[in-house]
Amino acid sequence: MAGSPESKLQLVQRHIRAFPDFPKKGILFRDICPLLKDPAALTAVIDLFEEQVRKNYQQVDLIVGLDARGFLFGPLLAQRLGIGFVLVRKKGKLPGTTVSVAYELEYGKAEAEIQEDAVSPGQKVLLIDDLLATGGTLFAACELMKKRKAEVLGCMVVIELKELNGVEKIKPHSLFSLLQY
């Protein structure tokens, strides 16, 4: 897609909707559905992620996408880069032998898992999701990679909710976010 990074980012931003009081009062929900519906806006997201990876990470073995919206962006980016894509799922959703990590959510506990043979020791990975809020899920994915002895090069999201300070939870890993609110 032609255009400057700034124009691509503006296109992406125009395709994010805000819904006040969803899913409960006091929450301003950032909706990516219009972004997915528009081919040019979705291409802009993948272009911007690809530019970031090619500029900053010369050696990447895998893109690791978080359940479920990381599955929307991760395979497209992995395909562009000519590398593999790995799923991090909620507990009980993957067949075969898995490795899991329990983590805290704002409202309770959860578990994330990968297939045992999905990531090999020493592989260099980038994690991707749609949004970083409090950082619990992305932190769990980083812990899964650590369990598999993979090297986390960084984390990438479309949207970062700055006031929730999730970036602190994933340290020492770096975060690249297209949009910050």
Q: Which two tokens stand for residue 120?
A: 């090999």
d(CA 71, CA 24): 25
User: Any catalytic annotation for residue 106?
Assistant: yes
Q: Which two tokens stand for residue 96?
A: 């075969």
Counting Cα atoms < 13 Å in the Cβ hemisphere of 50 gives 18
User: Any catalytic annotation for residue 14?
Assistant: no
Counting Cα atoms < 13 Å in the Cβ hemisphere of 123 gives 20
Among 30, 50, 51, 69, the active-site one is 69
Q: How far is CA 124 from CA 51, 84, 109, in A?
A: 18, 11, 28
Q: Active-site residues: which are they?
A: 69, 106
